[in-house]
Amino acid sequence: MKFQASKLAPVGTLGIGRRQLVAGTAVASFLFASGLPTPARAQGETDFPSRPIKIVVPYSAGTGSDAIARTVAQVITEKTGKAVIVENREGGGSVIGTMALVKAPADGYTILIAANPTAILPSQSAAPPYDPVKDLVPVAKVGVIPLVLAVSPGLGIKSVKDLIAYAKANPGKLSYGSSGPGTISQQEMEIFKQAVGIEIIEIPYKSTSQAMTDLIGGTLPLFPVVVPLVSPHLQNGRAMALAVLDSRRSELLPNVPAITEEVKVPGYSPTPVWYGFVAPARTPAHVVSTLEKLINTAMETPEVRTRMTSLGAQRISVSNEQFARDLRSEYEKAGALAKKQGIYK
């Protein structure tokens, strides 16, 4: 509390308020020691947000993360009058944008839309630029886009069981397309291979569209790809879906089994493409709670639901405690894979 000189009591009146001063000091000491909110702290809680919030997108404009961030920002601004702006900080596969968040003040006015690379990329280094478990605090995990294990129809493989049987009988003869080391498509395929004990050669692609072209052309046998990119080809029969690389079926492909329905291996847990919002570590809990409510309320509006559908994404709502466990699990899983593949540095 700040006092202005013009409002101080005259010297002669100080004595009559001595007991009031002592009592007030005792109350303030109790509140401080007990951790209960003091009047100044309570006022601060009601003030957030009092200025524009910035969402950092660690990718270029037009990506799925960018589309979700901009739609959420627009809805929050329109519905609450609280200004939310979006800043694209692409580079390093998402590292540059994430580091901008990590270095930002932990006051809730800078948050990041995160995805799988947020956990995967730092796991590949003994001296990572940031630790997703220690340097980030979950705010809201909002959606997933399952990967589909797609196969070229000419291969004659109709199910995951067929794939496993063929791969075991013909080790190294099959190949799959990926976006390269450190990506979710590579991670999930390599973990699947380890779980069932098969050898399928990875072919890294610089372009997802080229991998899809090779799949439907019959020169690439397998491709783990997100639902919206493969759906048109599934409908016209130029590609087949063996399974969704998730523990549940996709709302967009209800007749395609989840991989865990086909693979019963203890400890095997697939991870879909996910989107969520995070803040710098040490962001006050009441600020995180306010941000969580703003984002989740926006996620339930028709505007955001329409955008999610257009991206092939499914809305999810999990606790931030679960979000934190998911971040840790993916970070550790990706690190173990990097060491096994020899790409850990």
What DSSP element (H or E) covers 137? strand 136-145
* Domains assigned to the chain: 46-143+272-341 (3.40.190.150), 147-262 (3.40.190.10)
pLDDT for 47? 85
Adjacent-strand bridge partners of 110: 54
The conformational region for residue 275 under phi > 0 = left, psi -120 to 50 = alpha, else beta, is beta
- Are 76 and 298 spatial neighbours (Cβ–Cβ below 8 Å)? yes
Dist. CA 156–CA 315, nearest whole Å? 34
pLDDT tens figures, 295-311: 999 999 999 999 998 88
Share of residues in the chain with pLDDT > 70 (%): 87
Task: Tell me the DSSP string of 101-114.
Answer: HHTS-SSSSEEEEE
Mean pLDDT is lowest, of 7-16, 67-76, 118-127, 275-284, for 7-16
Q: Are 68 and 142 in contact (CB under 8 A)?
A: yes
Is the Cβ–Cβ distance between 80 and 294 less than 8 Å? yes
Question: Phi first, then psi: what are they for 286, rounded to 5°?
Answer: -70, -30
Other CB atoms within 10 A of residue 61 CB: 11
pLDDT value at residue 141? 98
Whole-number Å distance between alpha carbons of 145 and 320? 19
Q: Is the dihedral of CA 163, 169, 172, 173 positive or negative?
A: negative
pTM: 0.81
Q: What is the pLDDT of residue 306?
A: 92
Task: Please check the confidence at residue 321 and state whether its pLDDT lies above 90.
Answer: yes
DSSP state of 249: -
Rounded-to-integer distance, Cα 146 and Cα 196, Å? 20
What pLDDT score does 233 carry?
95
The pLDDT, as a whole number, for residue 45 is: 52
Q: 95 and 112 in contact (C-beta within 8 Å)?
A: no
Confidence of residue 46 (pLDDT cuts 50, 70, 90): low
Quote the pLDDT of residue 310: 87
Q: What is the mean pLDDT of residues 123-148?
A: 95
Mean pLDDT taken over the chain: 87
d(CA 238, CA 233): 5
Residue 27 binned pLDDT confidence (cut-offs 50, 70, 90): very low
Q: Taking 90 as the threshold, does the pLDDT of residue 320 lie above it?
A: yes
Confidence (pLDDT) at 267: 86
| DSSP of 113-128 | EEEHHHHHGGGG-SS-
Res. 2 pLDDT band, cuts 50 70 90: very low
Q: Return the higher-pLDDT residue of 15 and 270.
A: 270
Least confident of 118-127, 176-185, 315-324: 176-185
Share of the chain above pLDDT 90, in %: 72
How does DSSP classify residue 258? B
Of these ranges, 264-268, 280-284, 316-320, the one predicted with the greatest mean pLDDT is 280-284
Inform me whether the pLDDT recorded for 176 exceeds 90. yes
Confidence at residue 322, expressed as pLDDT on a 0 to 100 scale: 97
What pLDDT is stored for residue 345 in this prediction?
Answer: 83
Cα–Cα distance measured from residue 263 to residue 196, given in angstroms and rounded to the nearest whole number = 8
Query: In the prediction, which pLDDT does 25 show?
Result: 41
Name the band, by pLDDT with cuts 50, 70 and 90, for residue 13: very low
Q: For residue 31, what pLDDT is reported?
A: 37
